[in-house]
């Protein structure tokens, strides 16, 4: 007997028919004698609808009430799946985040899971329950109010439940049959990976591949959770996310990710003296604006220089407000912004031991006439900022340039 966690995303539970299909998949695991915890997302489109309702009621709404509304989609899908399971003879019961409880931080709409007490779930299994259906994406904060984990957060719920239950594996069922070399929806010749390292998956997710939420990969890595991404519609092997020593043949570049959720800010002619960067980024940090790429040019006259950085697109207005109100300290000449940029990243642990990876990227982009606005690198990643309209062209060109296209 094994203990497993199965997670089904929005498309997988998007209709009554699909929920019944999910119930059959869960029953198949139960029939093998396994104890199954199932984590579900809201039915597809539902979270967007709820977010829209909150916006329409009051654009500057209270974050606590936003989470009460936002978490509602998962309550419906977990109740429905529990009913569907009972209907086909599986002993199932639903659980909301607060009932378990899934304890989180107090950052509403971007809460982090602090602790999951597994004792109730353990008790339910020992009483003979076969499938415990858990609402993903939600938890309960220090003040006992409902919290949510950020978009895509049900992946994180699933991995956290798997860690708490010491599950043998955590299977993430979704609308693609695994992790691909890049988003298969924009590059049809993308290849499915049999395995990917935690580190690469972490970079892929944090650079925009939404197949897994970044935090879920972090948790899986920290707790050694055996994580798989599989199709909820087809019965075939998916992708295993595992440690580097489980992978024999390592490609130099394993994948390409893109993110359109980017905006660029340039401070023209800021004073070139110690302390200025802290005066720019201090107030941004205080305002919880997450700065990503940063470049500062060499000063031509020794007095002033240009400084460029990127922020999530939704934070641009706030970032500008913060910078403008700090101008008396920063003393820049003007502020340029763009909300039509995107970030393209190539990722691979093989980069650690191979030179020339970035050069291939720069050549491939220049062959297509695509201008690079900002560059940043880490040990296993090179990212560039480009005009958003070239996103797909760039991803396709890089996919070919690194020899990733399927034969
Ligand atoms: P779910 O609702 O099941 O959580 P998501 O929409 O959050 O599903 O994630 C699955 C989607 O991730 C796919 O439909 C695909 O378009 C996208 N995606 C982006 N990058 C990749 C990648 N490298 N491999 C697989 N899917 C990817
Ligand atoms: N329903 C939430 C969302 O749409 C969480 C999830 O699907 O993982 O973001
Ligand atoms: Mg998702």
**pLDDT tens string for the chain (407 positions)?**
899 999 999 999 999 999 999 999 999 999 999 999 999 999 999 999 999 999 999 888 899 999 999 999 999 999 999 999 999 999 999 999 999 999 999 999 999 999 999 999 999 999 999 999 999 999 999 999 999 999 999 999 999 999 999 999 999 999 999 999 999 999 999 999 999 999 999 999 999 999 999 999 999 999 999 999 999 999 999 999 999 888 877 788 999 999 999 999 999 999 888 888 899 999 999 988 999 999 987 777 778 899 999 999 989 999 999 999 998 888 899 999 999 999 999 999 989 888 899 999 999 999 999 999 999 999 999 999 999 999 999 999 999 999 999 88
Give the per-residue pLDDT at 407. 81
Give the per-residue pLDDT at 255. 96
CA of 12 to the centre of ligand 1 (A): 12
Q: What residues line ligand 1, using a CB cutoff of 6 Å? A: 9-12, 41, 152, 174-176, 179-180, 182-185, 204, 209-211, 255
For residue 139, the cross-strand partners are 147
136 lines ligand 2 (CB under 6 A): yes
Give the per-residue pLDDT at 331. 87
pTM over 0.85: yes
Stated length of the chain: 407
CA of 206 to the centre of ligand 3 (A): 13
Task: Give residue 298's Cα distance to chain centre.
Answer: 35
Atom of ligand 2 nearest to the CA of 10: 7
Give the per-residue pLDDT at 394. 98
CA of 298 to the centre of ligand 2 (A): 43
Q: Which of 174, 196, 215, 346 to mutate to test the pocket of ligand 1 (most atoms within 8 A of CB)?
A: 174
Give the per-residue pLDDT at 353. 86
With CA atoms as reference, report the closest residue to 94 among 39, 156, 48, 175.
39
Burial class (CB in 10 A: 0-12, 13-18, 19+), 387: middle
Atom of ligand 2 nearest to the CA of 152: 8
Give the per-residue pLDDT at 300. 77
10 lines ligand 2 (CB under 6 A): yes
Query: For ligand 1, atom 4, which residue shows the shortest CA distance?
Result: 9
Which residue in the block uniquely carries the two structure tokens 């591949």?
209
Which residue in the block uniquely carries the two structure tokens 């913060």?
322
For residue 344, the cross-strand partners are 258, 384
Q: Which of 13, 51, 151 to mutate to test the pocket of ligand 2 (most atoms within 8 A of CB)?
A: 151
Atom of ligand 2 nearest to the CA of 42: 1
Give the per-residue pLDDT at 307. 93
Rg of the Cα atoms in the chain: 23
Give the per-residue pLDDT at 359. 95
User: How distant, in Å, are the alpha carbons of 178, 181, 202, 209, 355 from that of 404?
Assistant: 16, 7, 19, 16, 18
For residues 399 and 343, give the distance between their C-alpha atoms in angstroms, rounded to a whole number. 15
151 lines ligand 2 (CB under 6 A): yes
288-315: string of b/e by CB count within 10 Å (b at 16+)? ebebbbeebeeeeeeebbbbbbbbbbeb
Query: For ligand 2, atom 9, which residue shows the shortest CA distance?
Result: 151
């Amino acid at each position: 007997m094994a203990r497993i966690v199965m997670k089904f995303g929005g498309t997988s539970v998007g209709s009554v028919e699909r929920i019944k299909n999910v119930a059959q998949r869960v029953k198949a695991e139960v029939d093998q004698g396994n104890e199954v915890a199932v984590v579900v997302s809201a039915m597809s489109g539902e979270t967007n609808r709820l977010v829209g309702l909150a916006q329409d009621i009051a654009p500057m709404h209270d974050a606590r009430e936003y989470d009460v509304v936002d978490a509602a989609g998962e309550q419906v899908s977990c109740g429905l799946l529990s009913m569907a399971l009972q209907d086909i003879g599986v002993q199932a019961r639903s659980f909301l985040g607060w009932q378990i409880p899934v304890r989180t931080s107090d950052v509403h709409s971007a809460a982090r899971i602090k602790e999951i007490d597994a004792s109730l779930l353990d008790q339910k299994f020992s009483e003979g329950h076969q499938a415990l259906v858990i609402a993903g994406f939600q938890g309960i904060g220090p003040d006992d109010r409902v919290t949510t984990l950020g978009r895509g957060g049900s992946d994180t719920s699933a991995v956290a439940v798997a860690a708490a239950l010491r599950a043998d594996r955590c299977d993430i069922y979704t609308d693609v049959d695994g992790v691909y070399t890049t988003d298969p929806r924009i590059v049809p010749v993308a290849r499915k990976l049999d395995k990917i390292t935690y580190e690469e998956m972490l970079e892929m997710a944090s650079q925009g591949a939404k197949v897994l939420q970044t935090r879920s990969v972090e948790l899986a890595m920290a707790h050694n959770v055996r994580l798989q991404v599989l199709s909820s519609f087809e019965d075939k092997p998916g992708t295993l996310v595992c440690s580097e020593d489980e992978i024999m043949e390592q490609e130099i570049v394993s994948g390409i990710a893109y993110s359109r959720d980017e905006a660029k800010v340039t401070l023209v002619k800021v004073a070139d003296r110690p302390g200025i960067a802290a005066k720019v980024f201090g107030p941004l940090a205080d305002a919880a604006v997450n700065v990503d790429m940063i470049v500062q040019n060499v000063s031509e006259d020794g007095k002033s220089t240009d400084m460029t950085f990127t922020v999530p697109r939704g934070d641009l207005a706030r970032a500008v407000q913060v910078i403008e109100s700090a101008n008396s300290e920063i003393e820049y000449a003007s502020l340029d912004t763009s909300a039509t940029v995107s970030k393209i990243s190539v990722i691979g642990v093989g980069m650690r031991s191979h030179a020339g990876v970035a050069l291939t990227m720069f050549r491939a982009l220049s062959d297509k006439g695509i201008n690079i606005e900002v560059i940043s690198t880490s040990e296993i990643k090179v990212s560039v900022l480009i005009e958003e309209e070239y996103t797909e062209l760039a991803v396709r060109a890089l996919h070919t340039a690194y020899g990733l296209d399927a034969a």
